[in-house]
Amino acid sequence: MEKVRCLIAGGGPAGYTAAIYASRANLSPVLYEGIQPGGQLTTTTDIENYPGFENGIAGQALMDSMRAQAARLGADLRRGIITGADLSSRPFRITVDNGDEIEADSLIIATGATAKYLGLESETRFRGMGVSACATCDGFFYRNRQVAVVGGGDTACEEASYLANICSKVYMIVRRDVLRASPAMQEKVKSTPNIEILWNCNTREILGDLSGVTGARILRKDGEVFDIAIDGFFLAIGHHPNSEVFSRWIDTDENGYIVTDGKTSRTNVDGVFAAGDVQDPLYRQAITAAASGCRAALDAEKYLNS
């Protein structure tokens, strides 16, 4: 069985940064990139708040660069999803979706978070046929069409703004009478002429036929039910942490976020560290994820060399 000193789960800012630091510390890290190599940033447009890029940088370009940096420094980057983990004793035993089993002296969990869905049957039926959780991935297909975005946070506002540049009209379906987003993002969507906010509204059903989504049935808090004509339905209602594979062994909070020890990345299992969105319900920024990846690699180095 293959044995590695430092196994990293997840190819986002946290995982790649951990790989950069672990490589430079001679830990010979092996990193499995997971379902979405590059992580959530590959589904955003320009990142304007990542320091060092005066004029901003595309999310995909930032991730490609982090990945290339980790590879250049010697990290072994692999396509693959970790499907099982036995963390009951050391070395830890990790199973990959291709059937490989690996022994690891230390483990850094940087598996990120995944978009939430409403849980409607029609949402599942039309997934990939008009229902999407990624405007930058799929917005292109709705050029000059009408679409809806669900949610009132920063993600929803960003997605609505992005889609407003492509689509003829964007509805924002917001369940309260306020947006949760930052004031700047609120201002942006409110001042975009082809964005219409449907306040106090929930989606009752996504309507469609064999060709895909054709509309949505909306229920307003006052009891009114009405339909909107749309071709695309975009979810932007938050994320859940990808901690399930490890949750038998690793302590999580009530929402599934991995609990770490104080300012460190240490989990309740010695030799297992967590970084990035999987342990961060609060900040969830690329820069904070990268910083926590750095911490995890330093913690792993200290653990392995002690």
User: Which residues of the shown chain bind ligand NDP in the complex (CB under 6 A)?
Assistant: 49, 118, 150-156, 158, 175-176, 180, 237-238, 284
Active site residue: 134, 154, 251, 294, which one? 134
Give catalytic status of residue 100 as yes or no.
no
State in angstroms the smallest separation of the CB of 175 from ligand NDP.
4
Between 81 and 218, whose beta carbon lies closer to ligand NDP?
218
Smallest distance, ligand NDP to C-beta of residue 287, A: 10
Question: One of 6, 138, 157, 201 is an active-site residue; which one?
Answer: 138
CB of 37 to ligand NDP, least distance (A): 20
- Minimum CB–partner distance for residue 193 and ligand NDP (Å): 22
Give catalytic status of residue 222 as yes or no. Answer: no
Residue 283 Cβ vs ligand NDP, minimum distance, rounded to whole Å: 7
Nearest residue (CB) to ligand NDP, 155 versus 242: 155
Instruction: Please give the full DSSP string across the chain, using - where no structure is assigned.
Output: -EEEEEEEE--SHHHHHHHHHHHHTT---EEE--SSTTGGGGGSSEE-SSTT-TT-EEHHHHHHHHHHHHHHTT-EEE---EEEEE-SSSSEEEEETTS-EEEEEEEEE---EEE-----HHHHHTBTTTEES-HHHHGGGGTTSEEEEE--SHHHHHHHHHHHTTSSEEEEE-SSSS--S-HHHHHHHHT-TTEEEETTEEEEEEEEETTEEEEEEEEETTS-EEEEE-SEEEE-S-EEE--GGGTTTS-B-TTSPBP--TTS-B-SSTTEEE-GGGG-SS---HHHHHHHHHHHHHHHHHHHT-
Select the residue whose beta carbon is closest to ligand NDP and give its number: 153
- 137 catalytically annotated: yes
Residue nearer to ligand NDP on the CB measure, 106 or 242: 242
Closer residue to ligand NDP, CB minimum distance, 1 or 282: 282
Nearer to ligand NDP, 90 or 180 (CB): 180
What amino acid positions are annotated as catalytic residues? Answer: 134, 137-138
